[in-house]
Every structure is written in structure tokens, then in C-alpha cells.
Amino acid sequence: MRELRILAPNGMLGYGFPVKWFKRALSMNPHAIAVDSGSTDSGPHKLAMGVMTCSKEAYTKDISLLLDAVSEKKIPLFISSAGGAGTNAQVDIFLDIIEKISRQRNYHFKIAAIYSEIDKNLIKEKLKNGQIAPCGPVPPLSDEEIDLATTVVAQMGVEPFLKVLKENDVDIIVSGRTYDPVAIAAIPIKEGFDPGLAWHMGKIMECGALCAEPAGKVMLGVIHEDHFILEPGSLEERCTISSVAAHTLYEKSHPYFLPGPGGVLDLSDARFEQLDDRRVKVSGSKFVASDKYAVKLEGAKKVGFRSIFIGGVRDPILIGHIDEVLTRVAKDVKDYFKDIPLDQYQMIYHVYGKNGVMAELEPVKNATPLELCIILEVAAPTQELATAICSRARTELLHCPYEGRIGTAGNIAFPFTPLEISLGEVCAFNVYHLMEIDDPVNLFPIRYLEV
């Protein structure tokens, strides 16, 4: 093939996309539709609790539109990291959605489902053999933490997709946790295009048209022998050298090197050229295979329960003394619950309007805000204890004295009742490690079905 066209409808399945511009891109006859639906960006809760990133209704709406396109154009659809965390159950939920839509619309599809949950005994064996290492600044893994994780998934590379594409004629692939660019890079790599170009195109397009100006949803990528071209589906958006090059740096720890399953994408010689008002040509990307193949493991555990209260402050005198007031409230609460060890609970203040986003890293130290939003987050072993501590802190804050105070009935406004809000279980990532493997295919079971 001299060129291969991939359509990404958006950067996250379930987030929706403009049908008008999706159909325009579809009219350019892509060879495949590819969309990622996974991320750890929103924290450990979804992986630990089995919760999906978006609602089932949102996924159903997006998938309905994609199945219409697959049926009309007779092109394959690749969905990676089903449900967000990419657990086996979330893959099956997506399969159920596809089956119900197909039955309603009298569609017939051949599907490959690729699963990514990893047996804990295998992980322990790899750990014992010294084949697991931290991925970034995280503690070394232990058997105890492996057991505490509710589920452990591994980010698959492109190899399971290639196995499906080479051995079977399928209309749809739905995968568990997957390295984000895989769904887009799979067909180009299978068809013999340069893997460096395929991975780089996948790296940018897995976010849809986030690399466009203004940022959008629908993106078309066209890969050639020695370059690829990016064009947003919307005529109201454009790709520029700066927007595409900037997005190449997105979510990377190094400006040139992007490690992934099986190797490193080397962008030190990448070149960006403006073809016209809306398209950018990219070349020079290289893929360097690793000596040892490793996949990233992701796991999360339940660590307790969380309650919060939300309060607003408009009194300029209290705003001026807020640091000392919060310190005093924390001390009073600890004194009140002195029979409970301090390592059994946490109190974290988020003071929006002062340093709620940056916390101690906030560079502007002396700004005088007009108002503050104070959120106290309490984590404890039980929901009842978290709520009790949260309630005590709220009442202490409501009536805490401070220099210059005029009103004594309370200087905090509470927008919601109940005043203490129970948020349920608190979770934490406890598996975020690289595991060396011998076979990047057999680790990920494949199931074929027809709907």
C-alpha cells in the first residue's frame, strides 16, 4: 500500500464527537477507525472498584455511531483499553453493548476480544526472579501489595493486535488495557509501514484532534513510506507545526524518547512541515527495539473511606488568618480524637482561591483573594469515622476564633446538605511496575465471537 488512512473519532471513547465532522472524515475513505478509551489520569478508583470512565449510556451512543460507520464503509474498528481501566469485565461490557446494538440494527460482525488481566501468581514468580522493577518513582513491589490489588492489568503492545490481524478476518477488535498508540499503529505496522512513523502517528492521534488549533475531536492520519500527514476532520480546525510538535511532547518524561512495550520511540530527528493551512507532514521518527520486552503493570487497592465538607469564606479578616485557623482546627480535631492513632486517618485541606490547585508549590504566596472555597478531605478506616472527623473539623472551623473576628455565629457558608458528604471507598495505586516477559502475545488471551 502506498498510503494508509486511519480515522480517530476522538481522544477518549465515551466523550462524544461531532457527527458532522466525523462523517466528513469518513467520506475520505479511511482504512480503519481506531479509538482509545483508557487512562489512569483520573486516579486509582476505577481500576480498584471496577468503575468505567464514562457512563454506559455514553459508550453506547459513541459505539452506535462507530458501528454504523463500520457497516457502511466495511472497514474495521479498533477499541483499546475498554471502559477506562481495561479489565476483563469492562471488555465484556463493551462486547455486550456491541451485541445489543447489532441485534437492534441487524448488523453482523466478527469480533476479537483481547484480555489484559494478569494472574497474580505469575507476577509473584516474575518478582521472585528479579524481572519486575518500578516504573518511575514508586516503591518496589512486594507479594503483599500484589495480593492487596483488586485487579492487575498489563498494558499490551501491538503484538496481540498483529496476531489477530494476520490470522483472522475480523471487523472489530476490543482490547483490555493497551498502550495508548496501539490501536492506531496496528494496521500500519501490519502492512509494513515504518514502525517509528506508525508509533509517532499513534502517539499523536490517540488524543484525537487535541493537536489541532483549536483543539478538537476528529482526526485523520495518512501514513506513507517515509512520512505521515495529520488533518483534523473539522474544517473549523487546523494542524500547525507548533500544535503538532507541541502535542508530540504531551505526557512524556523526555522530549525525544518515548518508551513503550518492546522499545523506544526516538524523535530526536523528527521533522514537522506545514503542507497547507490545515495539514502537517511529519517524518524522521524512529523506533528502537529493546533488548528485553517489558509491559507496564497497573494495580490499585482499597485503603479506607473518604468524607468531605465544602465551605465558602467571604470574610476578608478570616481570609487573612486562614492558615493559622486551619492549623488550629487540625490540632483541635487531633486532640479530640487523641485515642485514635494519627496514622489511622488523614485530613487534607484544599483551599481554592489561595493554593487549592498547586498547594505548597503555588508560586504566588501573597495574593489577597476575594473569597475562598475550602474543601476538607478526611480518609479513615471506616466511613463512620471519616464522617465523624469531618464533622468535628467543620464545627471547629465554623466557630474558630481569630484576631479581629466580628461575627461569632459562624463565618463559613456551606452550599450543600448534608454538610458532610460521604464519598465511599478510597483507593491507591500500588502496582505501577515494569514486568519483563518472553512472549508479548500469550500473556493476553484472545477470544473470537460473532454478533
- Give a yes or no: residue 306 inside a domain: no
Q: Which of 153, 28, 24, 46 is nearest to 14 (CA)?
A: 46
Based on the domain organization, do 74 and 187 belong to the same domain?
Answer: yes
Give me the domain span that covers residue 363.
315-412
Cα–Cα distance, 374 to 451 (Å, whole number):
51
Which grid cell sits at 322? 486562614
- Amino acid (1-letter code) at residue 356: G
Together in a domain, 126 and 162 = yes
CB 206 within 8 A of CB 6: no
Q: Decide if 422 contacts 386 (C-beta within 8 A).
A: yes
Region 109-125: mean pLDDT is 98
* pLDDT over 70 percentage in the chain: 100
pLDDT value of position 379: 97
Same domain, 109 and 206: yes
Q: Look at residue 303 and tell me if it is in a domain.
A: no
**DSSP secondary-structure letter at 43?**
-
Is residue 373 a part of any domain in this protein?
Answer: yes
Q: How far from 6 is each of 243, 429, 447, CA to CA, in Å?
A: 20, 34, 24
Cβ proximity of 221 and 279 under 8 Å: no
Please report where in the chains the cell 474543601 appears, as a residue. Answer: 375
How many CB atoms neighbour CB 288 within 10 A?
Answer: 13
Asked, for residue 421, whether it belongs to a domain, the answer is no
Reported in sequence order, the residue ranges of 17-171 that DSSP labels E, i.e. its strands, are: 32-36, 77-80, 110-114, 132-134, 151-154
Judge if 287 and 322 occupy the same domain.
no
CA distance 389 to 374: 16
3-state secondary structure 165-195: HHHCCCCEEEECCECCCHHHHHHHHHCCCCH
The CA angle 345-349-351, to the nearest 5 degrees, is 170
Cα–Cα dist 435/108, whole Å:
38
User: Do residues 254 and 187 both lie within one domain?
Assistant: yes
- Secondary element (H or E) of residue 349: strand 346-352
User: What is the pLDDT at residue 422?
Assistant: 97
- pLDDT-derived band at 169 (thresholds 50, 70, 90) equals very high
Rounded distance between C-alpha atoms, residue 422 and residue 383, angstroms? 7
- Residues 133, 139: contact at Cβ < 8 Å? no
Residue 154 pairs in a beta bridge with 297
pLDDT at position 126 over 80: yes
Which one, of 201, 169, 165, 163, lies nearest residue 185 by Cα? Answer: 201
Is 81 in the same domain as 206?
yes
- The yes-or-no verdict on residue 382 having pLDDT over 80 is yes
| Residue 78 CA: distances (Å) to CA of 55, 85, 258, 426 | 20, 16, 23, 33
User: What cell numbers appear for 339 in the block?
Assistant: 485515642
Measured at the CA of 361, the angle between CA 356 and CA 367, to 5 degrees, comes to 60
- Flag whether 109 is in a domain: yes
Residues 354, 211, single domain; the answer is no
Q: Are 252 and 181 in contact (CB under 8 A)?
A: no
264 and 188 within one domain:
yes
Residues 6+ apart with CB under 8 A from 103: 451
The yes-or-no verdict on residue 259 having pLDDT over 80 is: yes
Does the pLDDT of residue 42 top 90, yes or no? no
What CA dihedral angle connects 300, 306, 309 and 313, to 10 degrees?
A: -50
Would you say residue 417 lies in a domain?
A: no
C-alpha–C-alpha distance, residues 360 and 356, integer Å: 9
Same domain, 332 and 439: no
Determine the average pLDDT of the residues in 116-130: 98
The total number of structural domains in the chain stands at 2
SS3 content of the chain, % helix, strand, coil (to 5): 30, 25, 40
In a domain, 97, yes or no: yes
Task: Give mean pLDDT, residues 112-126.
Answer: 98
| 272 contacts 282 by C-beta, under 8 angstroms | yes
- Whether 108 and 225 share a structural domain: yes
The structure's pTM equals: 0.92
Residues 439 and 397 in one domain: no
338 contact partners, CB below 8 Å, separation of at least 6: none
User: pLDDT for 184-232, tens place per residue?
Assistant: 999 999 999 999 999 999 999 999 999 999 999 999 999 999 999 999 9
Beta carbons of 13 and 174 less than 8 angstroms apart: no
Identify the CA nearest to 430 among candidates 44, 1, 32, 29.
Answer: 44
Question: How high does pLDDT run on average in the chain?
Answer: 96
Instruction: Answer whether 305's CB lies under 8 Å from 425's CB.
Output: yes
Tell me, yes or no, whether 114 and 16 share the same domain: yes
Q: Is residue 310 part of a domain?
A: no
Residue 121 has pLDDT above 80, yes or no: yes
Q: What integer pLDDT is reported at residue 110 of this predicted model?
A: 98
Read off the pLDDT of residues 45-100 as tens digits, 9 standing for 90 and up: 999 999 999 999 999 999 999 999 999 999 999 999 999 999 999 999 999 999 99
